[in-house]
Structure 1
Amino acid sequence: MTSGSPTSGVGRVIAGRYLLLHRLGVGGMSHVWLAHDQRLACEVALKEIVLRDSGETAQERAARVSRARARARHAAGLRGHPHVVTVHDVLEHDGLPWIVMEYVAGAVDLRDLVARRGPLAPAECARVGLAVLDALTAGHERGITHRDVNPANVLLAPDRTGAPYGRILLTGHGISVQPDTGEARHTTSAPTGTAGCAAPERIIGGPPGPAADLFSLGCTLYHGVEGHGPFDRESPLAQITAVVAEEPRPAVRAGALEPVLRALLAKDPTRRMTATAAGAALARIVTPQAGGRPPTRNELGPRPRWTEASALPPVATASSAAPAPPPVPGRPLSHALRAAASTGLGLLLALGAVWYALAERTADAEAAPYGRAVGLAAPLRTGDCVVADWPGAARFSGTPRLSLDPTCRDGAPDGQVMAFAEAASANEARATGPARCEELTRETRARLADVRSYAVVPTSAGFVPAEGRAACLVLGAHGPVYGPLAGHRRPGAAFTDTATMQKRDCLDVRSDRDVRLASCASRHDEQVLGFTRLAAGLTLAQARTRSDTACAREVPPADYGFDPSVYEADSWTGEGAWKSATHLVVCTVRKQNGGTMEGDEP
């Protein structure tokens, strides 16, 4: 079994003292548990360090454990800092290191907060930045660099007065390092940290330093105020490449915070903003200096949604009118007649301009809120299922004409509305909607086999009817999804096709053709672990005889903490995957004896 797999189940006691209650999160380098300290009768967070290389020697493993202890000591050295999660102890259990930390009740990390509630206002984001910068500076003064500052490692929790998000904490010191101490280092050439937030000098192999943490802070604050990272791309490799070779996406919501972000994201660490300068700049945004100019509307937050949409189209002027015809020979007009003619002509021009403006607005209104090409007469709502008719042969090429599928099943929907990206104007919706929708649907897409994000953006005239937001769809990448997705499904619902099965779904298998979504807390027959792709030449009938073997090889249940003496791989194939030529198979796990799974799996 792979070392570091989350096999430590609920109810296990670590080091004879800490009772595991439930898992709080799983990261690339650790598993974090809520645990009960039986000696002090309080709750703590217990971090299990992941050691994935099962082929390492005893000496190499000992070196890894030693590094974990050293990093825990680094974080413990910041004990008592108001913006650092306190580390209480580091221990070893069954040969693995565990770090005992403060449990912060009611905390939400910055990444999840932005995903749930949207981007922060510039001043609020600057307040977060000041707290994180204070924590980083305290570490830098002790010679400790964090090396993994990112939105998921910034916690916001109620303070002592109960104010939500009043307390700001930096966590994730699991890969922090203290230079010049002779401690063992990672020998891999891969950069540590989070893709899209690691400083360019770290990516190309440079030593860790305070300036690298400041670059990561800039990425974190950019995410907080913009709603997505400055170098977000489709894959971690593409993000890393963008950090080194491309400029960050232009900020559109940052207001007064934008110059600070730009200075922190300088690729040359010698030209990057210092901690002192960043602190002063952030403080000015949080508390503007007395007597200074008042903040602009953009600095206070986005403009009211009606500002752009309510502006009338410009009225035609003389310079835009057709040239006057040459004068007709004859007697000149009298002054009165000339004045009357001029007035009548002006009135006609004015009426014509008003008619033109009203006609344009009426035409736009008929296509509201997303324009004539999309064709919807009313704004989309959360959970709406849609059928997409693309103008060409290729999906995701051009603008699709959308229609609603009220049953979300009978019409084999192409996708569903999963979120909304709010904007201050139609221009902002067009500029930021696709990237925001990528971010808002990331978690859903990661759990499905073959889907893509698509932003349905309102027109200028449709911006107000669309409630000032772009609709974020999750669409089948190569074909329909055949039913509701993610949280819009309900336990007991039957799967029409495997396209709507997602990772960690629990299945109630009633027959080979009747599979229903089950609650993982109750009895169920199988659980979805992932997906694999079969050879293009296989027919659907052939796939059904070979898919179990492929899943056992490509998505082995042991890698997910399932005991191979008790559990085995299983699979499901659907017609949709063969109609779309993706040949994707859903890989599941079940008990070898055919018994039910009771909700106590890893």
Structure 2
Amino acid sequence: MQSEAPESGVGRVIADRYLLLNRLGSGGMGHVWLAHDQQLDCEVALKEIVFRDPDEEEQDRTTRVARARAEARHAAGLRDHPHVVTVHDVLEHDELPWIVMEYVPGALDLKALVTRRGPLAPAECARIGLAVLDALTAGHERGIMHRDVKPANILLAPDRTGSPYARVLLTDYGISVQPDTQETRYTRSNMLVGTTGYLAPERAQGGPPTAAADLFSLGCTLYYAVEGFGPFDRDSGIAALTAVVLEEPRPVLRAGALEPLLAAMLAKDPVHRITAADSEVALAAIVTPRAHPRTDPDLGSQPQWASGALHTVEPEVLASRHPHETPWPAPTAAPENHSDWASPSSDHGPAHPAHPGRRSPGTRTDGRRRHHRAKALLAGMATTLGLALLVSGIMYGLENLPDLRALGGGTVSGARPYGDAIGLTRALRNGDCVDADWSGVPFTDQPRLTVVGCGEGTDGQVMAVYEAGSAEDARSGGAAQCDRLTKEADGLLADTRGYAVVPTADGFDTAGQRVACLLLGTHGPVHGPIGEHRPMGMVFTDTATMQKRDCLDRLSDSRAKLVPCDGPHDEQVLAFLRLPSTEKLKDAKKEGPDICQKEVPPKEYGYPHDTYEAAVWVGESGWHSDSHFVVCTAMRQDRRTMEKDEP
């Protein structure tokens, strides 16, 4: 066996068959590559074992190789399951194993999805939970415990119809185990195996892996998906482990119907924890409620945003943002006499009052009893936990702490991450808003970028980041990857265009080894946060930030508020209509409703023609920058609010 990791890189051929195309991601065991199977002429995913420390003890190296083989064996045993990533083969190259897996195009893990879009709706979380629970149960029936259920190990991908994020897949059986067999335990005896904050309390105290422990981890995962942060998130691994054992989960804000189920899944004592069978019943009831058959959602494989309900952030949480959400300043209300843009709604009477949001769920009434019980346990566990947590936490941290460069901090090398032309001195992060000063031809030459607040006049925003395997990978494939990552958001906006901010070779580490994927206004500013970075309840200052399928409350002739589509709303955006460059602004405002009614009739979007009609919003700033588009919406003819089940 070699004394150090084999050289990796794009263009390398593994086992005379698999051509490495680009790195898809990295984890505690190594790297996952997109590869081309030259024999079958198809794309696969290859998992590579990487030993970052050349001096790693031979025993530890042997253990990690054995764990890789175990992962392949366990996952291969579930290869026919629709919610488990298929393992095709395990091979050896340069005396190290490589796992050949199904390549899932367009996949995004749940952690990345929540980071990008914000917390998901309870019904969507329940749909994902049902699929993962089905996969876990199939493994449990074979005696296989996953032991590392977490958001990053759940992939969401398009299904055969192309519906985004419809397919749910559980991956990474790298630390799974069959406790009822004679199988070797490929873990260190003085180290906890799993992810802090998602590990069941009994596992944190040295207990064996069980189906109940996997269920607790799934509860933590669903909590993260619906809330946007973990129930036991803390500043350090030791603090998170302590919270798992001794503290109650953080109070929920958005869980809604999921709240009682999450409480049952996160019970400290596995004896009192809800069973998998009862969890399945509860999740199914949330996905398909029985109380209102007329409005029952037939989710099937359809994620919430595929059917038009894109917004999952509840209005009441805007007043108290938590540190895990995307950082942007809440937009301020535009002045009543704001004249930048207008709608033809002045003849429709006064604006409707804001619709009150749902009351945030309170904390559970039994929280104090559990708190006292936890305190009573503290003395008894102090001896066993103290040393174990310290040693285990240190060992865990050393092996599993993420590369700080990948978190956007970068290695301080003195290099500008994107070169002198771009001018930035720090790495761009997802959600950053920028001003772009083009000294040459826009979208051809490099712009001078400045990170600014996401307010009126903003030129664009970082909508995604691509983690590159190398500086060369960033340079050669960054633009294409950014185009893929921002394609959906770009398609929902009227006048944006993508731009990949690629790090230089010298600034690659300072940039966090990432390409920043921008969406910039094509003909002018985007006027604030765009896409899924917009907070629910924001007041639009220009039509440039509106997107297809948005639901709006009309506040005045020139002001509209973004509201959830699953509640009362005044109108919904259908499409953008570009008018001739000779069309005057005043004519567009006057004739817009008739033009939208003719060119974008609401009936073609499912709105009955005898109940709904077209309306229009026209932005002055976009008009003056020669984009010449109007926003066509559907609204009720009687001006009553539309409900979630309309049309």
TM-score by length of 2: 0.49
Other structure's SS at 1:137 match = helix
Name the residue aligned to 1:8.
8
Paired residue secondary structure (1:218):
helix
C-alpha displacement at 1:521, in angstroms? 6.3
1:343-354 matches, within 5 Å, as: none
CA distance in 2, matches of 1:174, 1:33: 16
1:186-241 CA-to-partner distances (Å, cap 9, x unmatched) read 12422112221111211222111111110110011001111111111222332222
1:507-586 alignment, distance < 5 Å: 524-525=505-506, 527-528=508-509
Q: Residues 450 and 506 (structure 1 numbering): CA distance in 2 closer, same or farther, change over 3 Å?
A: closer
Task: Work out whether residues 197 and 241 of structure 2, in 8 Å CA contact, stay in contact via their aligned partners in 1.
Answer: yes
| Greater RCO, 1 or 2 (C-alpha within 8 Å, sep 6+) | 2
Match in the other structure for 1:102: 102
Distance 1:46 1:484, change over 3 A: closer
The answer for the alignment partner of 1:557 in structure 2 is none
Report how far residue 5 of structure 1 moved: 6.4
CA distance in 2, matches of 1:225, 1:96: 40
1:8 and 1:520 map into 2 onto residues whose CA distance is: 25
| 2:271 counterpart SS class | coil
Please say if 1:448 is aligned against 2:429: no
Specify the code of the residue in structure 2 equivalent to 1:34: L
Q: What is the SS of the residue equivalent to 2:509?
A: strand
- Cα deviations across residues 422-462 of structure 1 (Å, max 9, x unaligned)? x9869979x9xxxxxxxxxx9999322799xxxxxxxxxxx
Aligned to 1:38: 38
Q: Which residue of 2 aligns with 1:131?
A: 131
1:159 alignment partner in structure 2: 159
Per the alignment, residue 148 of structure 2 pairs with: 148
Q: 1:120 to 1:97 in 2, by over 3 A?
A: same
Instruction: Give yes or no for contact 1:32–1:45 (8 Å, CA) kept in 2.
Output: yes
Question: Are the aligned partners of 2:129 and 2:283 in contact in 1 as well (CA < 8 Å)?
Answer: yes
Distance 1:182 1:303, change over 3 A: closer
Q: Mapping of 1:434-513 within 5 angstroms?
A: 446-448=407-409, 485-486=428-429
Contact kept in structure 2, 1:76 and 1:86, CA below 8 Å: yes
Distance in 1 between residues matched to 2:60 and 2:411, nearest whole Å: 39
Q: Distance in 1 between matches of 2:172 and 2:5?
A: 19
Q: Deviations over 1:482-539 (max 9, x none)?
A: 889546578675999xxxxx999979xxxxxxxxxxx9968644543699xxxxxxxx
Deviation, structure 1 residue 54: 3.6
Q: Output the CA distance in 2 between the equivalents of 1:248 and 1:3.
A: 44
Contact 1:147 1:192 in 2 (8 A): yes
Give the whole-Å Cα distance in 2 for the aligned partners of 1:163 and 1:44.
21
Residues 1:68 and 2:68 aligned together: yes
State the superposition RMSD in angstroms: 4.4
1:236 corresponding residue in structure 2: 237
User: 1:172 — aligned with what?
Assistant: 172
Counterparts of 1:169 and 1:369 in 2: how far apart (Å)?
33
Distance 1:450 1:228, change over 3 A: farther
**In 2: Cα distance, 1:71 partner to 1:308 partner:** 41
Deviates further, 101-110 or 237-246: 237-246
Residue equivalent to 2:488: none
Distance 1:138 1:13, change over 3 A: same
In structure 2, C-alpha distance between the alignment counterparts of 1:262 and 1:102, rounded to whole Å: 35
Runs of 4+ in structure 1 deviating by more than 4 angstroms, as ranges, are 2-7, 56-60, 290-295, 300-305, 378-381, 423-429, 442-445, 481-485, 487-496, 502-507, 519-523
The amino acid that maps onto 2:408 is: R
Shift of 1:95: 2.4
Counterpart of 2:156, as a letter, is L
Structure 2 unpaired stretches of 5+: 297-308, 322-328, 333-354, 364-402, 413-423, 437-445, 452-464, 473-499, 513-647
CA contact (8 A) 2:31 2:47 kept: yes
**Equivalent AA in structure 2 for residue 207 of structure 1:** P
SS at match of 1:24: strand
**Are 1:27 and 2:27 counterparts?**
yes
What amino acid is the match of 1:262? Answer: A
The 3-state SS of whatever aligns with 1:9 is coil
Alignment of 1:304-453 (within 5 A): 305=315, 379-380=330-331, 446-448=407-409
Counterpart Cα distance in 1 of 2:317 and 2:196: 37
**Within 2, Cα distance between the matches of 1:302 and 1:424?**
16
1:534-584: CA deviation from partner (whole Å, max 9, x where unpaired): xxxxxxxxxxxxxxxxxxxxxxxxxxxxxxxxxxxxxxxxxxxxxxxxxxx
Structure 1 residues 224 and 63: CA distance shift in structure 2, 3 A: closer
Structure 1 contact 147–208 (Cα < 8 Å) conserved: yes
Match of 2:539 in 1: none
The answer as to whether partners of 2:408 and 2:428 remain within 8 angstroms in 1 is no
The amino acid across from 2:69 in the alignment is: R
For 1:210, give the aligned amino acid.
A
Q: How does 1:49-68 map to 2 (within 5 A)?
A: 49-52=49-52, 54-56=54-56, 58=58, 61-68=61-68
CA contact (8 A) 1:106 1:158 kept: yes
- Asked if residue 212 in structure 1 is aligned to residue 213 in structure 2, the reply is yes
Q: 2:290 and 2:130 mapped to 1: Cα distance?
A: 16
- List per-residue Cα deviations over 1:248-307 (Å, max 9, x = no partner): 011111111111111111111111111111011111111123579999xxxx997974x9
The 3 A distance-change label for structure 1 pair 125 and 187 is same
For 1:280, the equivalent position in structure 2 comes to 281
Q: Which amino acid aligns with 1:168?
A: V
Q: Which residue of 2 aligns with 1:48?
A: 48
Distance 1:191 1:153 in 2: 18
Give the deviation of 1:67 after TM superposition.
3.0
Letter in 1 for 2:223: Y
State whether residues 67 and 183 of structure 1, in contact with CA within 8 Å, keep that contact through their aligned partners in structure 2: no
**Inter-partner Cα distance in structure 2 for 1:8 and 1:285:** 46
Tell me if structure 2 keeps the 8 A contact 1:6–1:31.
Answer: no
CA shift, 1:29, in A, is 2.2
Secondary structure of 1:145 counterpart: coil
**Deviation of the 1:142 alpha carbon:** 0.3
TM-score (norm 1): 0.53
Q: Is contact 1:44–1:103 with CA below 8 Å preserved after alignment? A: yes
Change (3 A) 1:4 1:259: farther
Closer, same or farther: CA 308–124 of 1 in aligned 2, 3 Å: closer
2:409 partner amino acid: L
Indicate if the aligned counterparts of 1:303 and 1:425 stay in contact, CA closer than 8 A.
no
Q: Deviations over 1:15-61 (max 9, x none)?
A: 11111100001112221110111111100011112344543554553
Counterpart for residue 267 of structure 2: 266
Task: Report if the CA contact (8 A) 1:3-1:53 is conserved.
Answer: no
- Cα displacement (A) at 1:137: 0.2
The one-letter code of the counterpart of 1:243 is: V
1:303–1:424: 8 Å Cα contact kept in structure 2?
no
Q: State the distance in 1 between where 2:127 and 2:15 align.
A: 39
Is residue 11–residue 21 contact of structure 1 (8 Å, CA) maintained in 2? Answer: yes
**Structure 2 vs 1, CA of residues 206 and 122 (structure 1 numbering), >3 Å: closer, same or farther?**
same
Secondary structure, in 3 states, of the residue corresponding to 1:248? coil
Assess if the C-alpha contact under 8 Å between 1:4 and 1:49 holds in 2.
Answer: no
Q: CA deviation at 1:134?
A: 0.1
CA contact (8 A) 2:5 2:54 kept: no
Q: Hey, what does 2:290 align to over in structure 1?
A: 289
Seq. identity, %: 59
Q: Which deviates more, 128-137 or 103-112?
A: 103-112
Task: Assess, with a 3 A threshold, how the Cα gap between structure 1 residues 84 and 445 changes in structure 2: closer, same or farther.
Answer: closer
Match of 1:105, as an amino acid? P
* Letter of the 2:245 counterpart: V
> How many residues align structurally?
364
Q: Answer yes or no: is the 8 Å Cα contact 1:90–1:97 preserved in 2.
A: yes
Q: Which residue of structure 2 aligns with residue 198 of structure 1?
A: 199
Q: Give the 3-state SS of the residue equivalent to 1:175 in structure 2.
A: coil
